[in-house]
Amino acid sequence: MEINLRKLQEIQVVELIGDVDASTAPEVQQEILPLAQPNSKLLLDMSQVPYMSSAGLRVLLSLYRQATAQDGKLVLVGLSEDLQDTMSVTGFLDFFATGDTLEAGLAQLKETVA
Amino acid sequence: MRVIETLTVPGTVDSLSKIAEYVKQVATIAELNHKATYKLRLAVDEIATNIITHGYAEAGLTGEIYLRADLDNSRLTLAIEDTGAIYNPDEKAVLQHEYLSQTLETREAGGLGVHLVLASVDEFRYERAGDRNRNIFIMHRNQ
């Protein structure tokens, strides 16, 4: 599992590379949960995540709650059809802001500034 | 039915990637399409994770996970066995409807895996075989 962090102005971009299952989810959770600070804007780029199990959904659930509690914004981009299916069948998809590309995600987060 | 492959791995999270490779391999032999292969992998991964975390680790037990794939003209049958604590996923499935009607703020973290299993494979069942738990996944091949 590879986790790359970078800041684009006020937006924290998190790029995940690899499968998220019960063996990698704890590492992901540990790295990204602290990024949900008061009013923070988080973009999770999942375009290089070919697989995600419920262990990954639980990380997203924690991140969602943390971001909401901190009045932050969270956008997921690059979800494959497989990941979208998993999030849809568990009722997760409706709760998250999503975008097809990094650019679309950044645009969504910038809009919320105004 | 003919047995096409078997795999035995330690019941630890480090084995999950090996199990995933195994599932992909038997799905290829069975000529499942991408979507069916992904869903079978997901279902097997979820149950293997439950075995590792609940059946073994939380119960203070160690043991192996035994996988076996059988193939006939119409379906691929994959069975996972373990010697961990008795763990019947069917009992977890009862509350699923209620669970899905909740918002993300109020949901508990458990239960998601079994829901995904039931939504992913064509048939799923659990049985107790001697001192083993046996979870059976069936994918139809005519898709």
**Assigned token pair, B52:** 């590792």
Number of domains in chain B: 1
* Rounded Cα distance, A58 and B110, in Å: 9
Q: Give the pLDDT confidence of A23-64 residue by residue, as tens digits.
A: 999 999 999 999 999 999 999 999 999 999 999 999 999 999
Size of interface A-B (CB pairs under 8 A): 58
- The CATH number for A26's domain is 3.30.750.24
What is the mean pLDDT of the segment spanning A102-109? 95
pLDDT at A114: 46
Which residue is associated with the tokens 């009045």? A71
More confident position, A114 or A102: A102
Give the distance from residue A23's alpha carbon to the nearest chain B alpha carbon, in angstroms: 5
**Which residue out of B9, B12, B16, B98 would a mutagenesis test of the A interface target, given it has the greatest number of A Cβ atoms within 10 Å?**
B16
Residue ranges making up the domain that contains B126:
2-140
Name chain B contacts of A55, Cβ cutoff 8 Å: 49
Contact B42 A53 (CB under 8 A): yes
Residue ranges making up the domain that contains A54:
2-111
Q: Give the pLDDT confidence of B91-111 residue by residue, as tens digits.
A: 666 555 566 667 776 666 567
Average confidence score pLDDT of chain B: 90
A80, burial (CB in 10 Å: exposed 0-12, middle 13-18, buried 19+):
middle
pLDDT band (50, 70, 90) for residue B80: very high
